[in-house]
Amino acid sequence: MSPATAEMMNEGEILAGCRAGDRQAQHALYAATSPRIYRLLLRMSGNPEDAGDLTQQTYLQAFTKITQFDGRSALATWIYRIAVTEGLQWLRRARLKRSAVSLVSDTAARNELPASDLRLDMDAALGRLDPEDRTVLLLRYEAGASYREIAELLSCAEGTVASRLHRCRERLRGILGPGYWVTEETTGSVHPTA
């Protein structure tokens, strides 16, 4: 395949090329999907080095297992799922490492901000959540996973997902501050159950 045609490949051609081990097809798939995959893994892990390693693992998994892709989803979605799995495995390893060295959780410290730091962008705010909380939010709102799917991925009950999401959203709201979403008409209004 000539370099000139690599950018113009459709998904079917990319898939066929990847199944045949064609490097240009693999690069075309990587070029089309890696920004989203890398962003997800950077947000999940919270550091560029781990995100790079996880992205690499994701594509090695994808290119190795490409023959198992059954076409029931878009190829990009399939790779995204592999990335989520890689990210979750990293999360478990990180959790084990933390408990093995008896580190005191700094979650609370991360979730409390000085009052002056009221406005943060979303990535900075996500970075202040602990990795597990961040992952639940990413799975729901970036990956679009249902409660049932998240529960399966995290091996917990759907009710746990719901309550955890609620807690994470509240933490995120606390970090972002009231200016993040408030419109002039609703300023000053407080929900009775808040």
Partner 1 sequence: MTCPSLDILGRYFDGELDAALRADVEQHVAACARCAHEFDALRAIGAGVASGEFPTVPIELWPAIQEALESAAVGVHTALPAAHAIRRPRPAGRLGPRRFAAAAGIALLVGLGVLAGLWLGNGKPASAAPIDFSILLDAINADADAAFDGFLKRYRAQRIEASAAHAAAPALDFEVPANLPGGFTRGRVYHLRFGDADGIAAAYHRDDGEFMAAIFHPPVRREHFGTHQDYPCAIGHHRGHAVQVGAWRMVHLTDPSTCHCVLTREQSDGAIAGVMQAIAPRSTPESIPNP
Contact 54, 93 (CB under 8 A): no
Measured CA to CA in angstroms, residue 180 lies from 8, 136, 142, 144, 172 at distances of: 40, 21, 19, 22, 10
Report the nearest approach of partner 1 to the CB of residue 96 (Å): 20
Report the nearest approach of partner 1 to the CB of residue 108 (Å): 20
Q: Does residue 188 come out as left (phi exceeding 0), alpha (psi in the -120 to 50 range) or beta?
A: left
Q: Does residue 71 come out as left (phi exceeding 0), alpha (psi in the -120 to 50 range) or beta?
A: left
Report the nearest approach of partner 1 to the CB of residue 104 (Å): 28
Residues near partner 1 (CB under 8 A) are 2-4, 6-7, 18-24, 26-27, 30-31, 34-36, 38-39, 42, 48-49, 52-53, 55-57, 59-61, 63-67, 121-123, 126, 137-138, 140-142, 146-147, 162-163, 165-166, 169-170, 172-173, 176, 180-183, 185-186, 189-194
Q: In this complex, which beta carbon is closest to partner 1, that of residue 3 or of residue 102?
A: 3
Q: In this complex, which beta carbon is closest to partner 1, that of residue 35 or of residue 114?
A: 35
Report the nearest approach of partner 1 to the CB of residue 99 (Å): 25
Q: In this complex, which beta carbon is closest to partner 1, that of residue 61 or of residue 101?
A: 61
Report the nearest approach of partner 1 to the CB of residue 150 (Å): 10
Q: In this complex, which beta carbon is closest to partner 1, that of residue 71 or of residue 178?
A: 178
Measured CA to CA, the distance from residue 35 to residue 81 in angstroms comes to 15
Q: In this complex, which beta carbon is closest to partner 1, that of residue 39 or of residue 98?
A: 39
